[in-house]
Amino acid sequence: MSTRIAFLKGHGTENDFVIVPDPDNVIDLPAAAVAALCDRRAGIGADGVLHVVRSASHPEALAMAAEAEWFMDYRNGDGSVAEMCGNGVRVFARYLRRAGYVGAGDLAVATRGGVKTVHIAKAEGAGHEGDITVGMGKALLPGGDVTVTAAGRTYPALNVNMGNPHAVAFVDDLAEAGDLFSAPAYAPESAYPDGVNVEFVVDRAPRHVGVRVHERGSGETRSCGTGACAVAVAAARRDGVDPALTGEPVTYTVDLPGGRLTVTEHPDGHVDLTGAAVIIAEGEVELAGLSVISG
């Protein structure tokens, strides 16, 4: 039986994804298939897979179906399941717009991190699609002393949860983190029983930072939306501008290797993430032909 499926390729600030449209949830995507699709030499190549499913068709999203028609079944590049991906939600929304399922304006997207509100801006002219803003919910700050270690150096980090776990460390130079080929060590291990995304952050100007990120299950990526949000939340606490205390929203510009994102935290704790999202290719792929699966 053929295992040929349709796919698209997209990215948000170069955090790239294979998009698998499957409204009725009939495509079997085991971890090995996801890893094969994301393999940059033997597959299509991506940081993760966006499995596009109607919420009513997926057991994990059924309870959210009344709020959100579409479920982002997100997988990391190694095939593991993830709660959320901020760049992924924007690319997911761009696909829904491209496919004609939604128009410009507001929509809701179900994720394992809850229902996210999305706003698709109208196109700003020929050849330019409007930015997409995702309501990322509230950051959780579990507290406790956390450290991360990379390239032989250990740094204090802030534990921030954006629907997935993050450890945010401020450094003097992004090169201090080394090549980030391997996941940075962290302590205590009990702080992140399922692993953690680690962000290394430098200041570039007031409320403007540069970031490198290691995403669990994917390695160092060109961008990370939830990571950008975690960084902005951590920076606001460090800078003494916690919106819950000042009563004013605070916005940070976050530069990642793949581009620039804007993060605004509001006094009620809700965080908005804004940036570009583009679809660059589409086609079909034969899953059985991928070397990781066929052996």
pLDDT band at 123 (very low <50, low <70, confident <90, very high): confident
Predicted TM-score (pTM) of the model is: 0.89
Say if CB 49 and CB 34 are below 8 A apart.
Answer: yes
- Structure-model confidence comparison of residues 1 and 155, the more confident one: 155
Exposed/middle/buried for residue 28 (C-beta within 10 Å: 0-12, 13-18, 19+): exposed
Least confident of 15-29, 125-139, 241-255, 264-278: 125-139
Could you list the active site residues?
A: 85, 224
| CA–CA gap between residue 218 and residue 49 (Å, rounded) | 11
Residues placed in the known binding site for substrate: 15, 76, 86-87, 164, 197, 215-216, 225-226
Q: For the segment 54-74, what is each residue's pLDDT rounded down to a tens digit?
A: 999 999 999 999 999 999 999
Residue 124 has pLDDT above 80, yes or no: no
Query: Tell me: the pLDDT tens digits for 158-198?
Result: 999 998 999 999 999 999 999 988 899 999 999 999 999 99
Residue 294 in this model has a pLDDT that exceeds 50: no
Contact status, residue 12 vs residue 277, Cβ threshold 8 Å: yes
pLDDT at position 241 over 80? yes
**What pLDDT, on the 0 to 100 scale, is given for residue 127?**
56
Query: What is the rounded average pLDDT for all residues in the chain?
Result: 94
What residue ranges define each of the domains in the chain, with the CATH number in brackets? 4-131+277-294 (3.10.310.10), 146-273 (3.10.310.10)
Q: What are phi and psi of 216, to 5 degrees?
A: -60, 135
What is the per-residue pLDDT across 99-109, written as a single tens digit (0 to 9) for each? 999 999 999 99
Question: Which SS3 state, helix, strand or coil, does residue 96 take?
Answer: helix
